[in-house]
Amino acid sequence: MKKIFYSVFILVFIFSLQIYSQTKGKLLIVGGAQTHEIEKKFVELAGGYDARIIIIPNAGSEPKLNSEIEQKTFNKLGAKADYILFSRETADNEANLKKMEWANAVFFTGGDQSDLTRDMLGTKLLAKVFDIYNNGGTVGGSSAGAAVMSEVMITGNELVNKDSTRSFVTIEKGNIETIQGFGFLKTVIIDQHFLKRKRHNRTISTLIEHPNLIGIAIDESTAIIVYPNDTFEVLGNNQVLVYDPTESHNIREDNKGNLGISDMKFHVLINGDKFDLKSKEVIE
């Protein structure tokens, strides 16, 4: 009886070690138009010459071409890189899953984030990406590949304003479409191409309707590196804006649907700045 108890104890102990040995990896989230410096950093985070990167191009209109461009870039930087081409129907093909088992990093290219979530949400393929991340790997994405990182994802569509020549000109209720993203980050909403495309209104609108979440708005040629301890660092040529409505009050709406909010915090971060997502403060 003692032998059986001892054997069970050992098995439970080993299983516990396996669970606690899992280490959340790093995220590199790019606001679009990534630079050589950012691509070099992604390879470094993925292990340098030991990096084995899978490129996922489903957001883009030319997935093969986009994949080959990224593959050449990562290879020149010393990494080993490959890509997979798939649809929703073929996502879980055995060949794709085997490629994911080879990888220790994944990079999502730009395009339309809704196409990316359409093809991957609920698949074994996405589960493999999370396996890599949850075991210390690196996951990156640019533009659409950045938007999918949060659980609440901005699609880019407007539901009230139908004039495509005047995008995001209001802060009003029910205008910004959001759907489920991949959810690597649960407490934030990511926006991208931010300053260049003047997306201030859509981020504020979204956050007033999701005041429990922090907005991280990343400009082009700029990225954040999210570390396992839930801090992030800014890397790049431009700024990252952080909107924090979590301690705001008096969220309101007038008879035209215009939204109001009081005491929303706001930070403008530059290259090298760091932010703590738990304390919701800039790290001095």
Q: Is residue 226 part of a domain?
A: yes
- Which CATH number characterizes residue 266's domain? 3.40.50.880
**What are 115-145's pLDDT values in tens digits?**
999 999 999 999 999 999 999 999 999 999 9
Residue type, 28: L
Q: Which of 45, 125, 121 is nearest to 77 (CA)?
A: 45
Question: Residue 136 falls within a domain, yes or no?
Answer: yes
Say if residue 8's pLDDT is above 50. no
Confidence of residue 20 (pLDDT cuts 50, 70, 90): very low
Instruction: Give the pLDDT confidence score for residue 1 in this predicted structure.
Output: 52
Q: What is the largest CA-CA distance in the chain?
A: 77
Show the domain range for 259.
25-283
pLDDT in tens, 22-67: 589 999 999 999 999 999 999 999 999 999 999 999 999 999 999 9
User: Structural domain tally of the chain?
Assistant: 1
- Look at residue 14 and tell me if it is in a domain: no
> What H or E segment, with its residue span, contains residue 128?
helix 124-134
Percent of the chain with pLDDT over 90: 90
For position 35, what pLDDT does the model report?
98
Note the pLDDT tens digit of each residue in 180-237: 999 999 999 999 999 999 999 999 999 999 999 999 999 999 999 999 999 999 999 9
Q: What is the reported pLDDT for 3?
A: 52
In b/e form, how buried is each residue of 5-35, taking b as 16+ CB within 10 angstroms?
eeeeeeeeeeeeeeeeeeebbbbbbbbbbbb
Q: Is the residue at 5 inside a domain?
A: no
What pLDDT is stored for residue 19 in this prediction?
A: 41
The β-bridge partners of 179 are 153
Mean pLDDT of the chain: 93
What are 113-122's pLDDT values in tens digits? 999 999 999 9
Give the phi and the psi of residue 68 in degrees, each rounded to 5.
Answer: -65, -35
Residue 92 lies in a domain: yes
pLDDT of the residue at 164: 86
Is the pTM higher than 0.85? The answer reads yes
Share of the chain above pLDDT 70, in %: 92
* Domain assignment present for 6: no
